[in-house]
A and B are shown apart, each in its own frame.
Chain A
Amino acid sequence: DVKVTQSSRYLVKRTGEKVFLECVQDMDHENMFWYRQDPGLGLRLIYFSYDVKMKEKGDIPEGYSVSREKKERFSLILESASTNQTSMYLCASSFRAGNTIYFGEGSWLTVV
């Protein structure tokens, strides 16, 4: 079974803090993704990566950055957290383009 692990499930951070969300997949997938999900807005793609050290902006990259130093690990970084970044963040991976995307369990972030 594909395993996508998000190490932090529930976080509460203060406005202005730097926040790291970590994600690891164990299936040697090429592609990794970060989405956020908000009521009424659905799932929106923040960033994705198709190779180590490669990254592409998704639909809502503003306020976020990412890092992929190893194939299995994809990190989402909030340089200066703001209250409008309170959301559920979902990491996902796929073997290659067009294949099924598998999601982690999600990270619930509250910025106060």
Chain B
Amino acid sequence: QKEVEQNSGPLSVPEGAIASLNCTYSDRGSQSFFWYRQYSGKSPELIMSIYSNGDKEDGRFTAQLNKASQYVSLLIRDSQPSDSATYLCAVNKYSGGGADGLTFGKGTHLIIQP
């Protein structure tokens, strides 16, 4: 069973600090990795994708991937109250049929305290 594990939280971070969200995955053959943000009652929206080892930065967000350790993380710098949401880690699950469905973790609930 392919799995994606996240700490459910809640993770409470003061405004202006760095929020660090972590994710591990079990399928060593995974190729694509994604972070989605989901506000309560809304659908997930993409924050970042990462495909190769190392860091990828986009504004206040940095995704980090370590395939050897099967570990993905998301750093949010200068956290804002609007960053309060559930963050979903997702991993590509390739199927031989030519398509794929992402396997999602259950999400980490992040609270930014003003």
| B-binding residues in A (CB < 8 A) | 30-31, 33, 35, 40-43, 45, 48-51, 54, 56, 58, 90, 94, 96-106
Pick from A31, A50, A90, A100: contact of B49, CB below 8 A. Answer: A100
Distance in Å: Cβ of B101 to nearest Cβ of chain A:
4
Q: Return the 6 tightest CB-CB contacts between A and B, nearest first.
A: A50-B99, A42-B106, A43-B104, A45-B101, A103-B43, A31-B99
Taking a contact as CB atoms under 8 Å apart, the answer to whether B92 and A98 are in contact is yes
Q: What is the size, in residues, of chain B's interface with A at 8 Å between Cβ atoms?
A: 26
Distance in Å: Cβ of A32 to nearest Cβ of chain B:
9
| A-binding residues in B (CB < 8 A) | 31-32, 34, 42-46, 49, 51, 88, 90, 92, 94-95, 97-107
Q: How far is the CA of A2 from the CA of B36 in the complex (A)?
A: 16
Main secondary structure of the interface of A (DSSP, over half): loop
Can you list 18 residue pairs at the A/B interface with Cβ under 8 Å? A31-B100, A42-B104, A42-B105, A48-B100, A49-B99, A50-B98, A50-B99, A56-B95, A94-B100, A96-B99, A97-B100, A98-B92, A98-B100, A100-B34, A101-B102, A103-B44, A103-B45, A106-B43
Distance in Å: Cβ of A2 to nearest Cβ of chain B:
10
Distance in Å: Cβ of B23 to nearest Cβ of chain A:
12
Taking a contact as CB atoms under 8 Å apart, the answer to whether A102 and B106 are in contact is no
Q: How far is the CA of A43 from the CA of B36 in the complex (A)?
A: 12
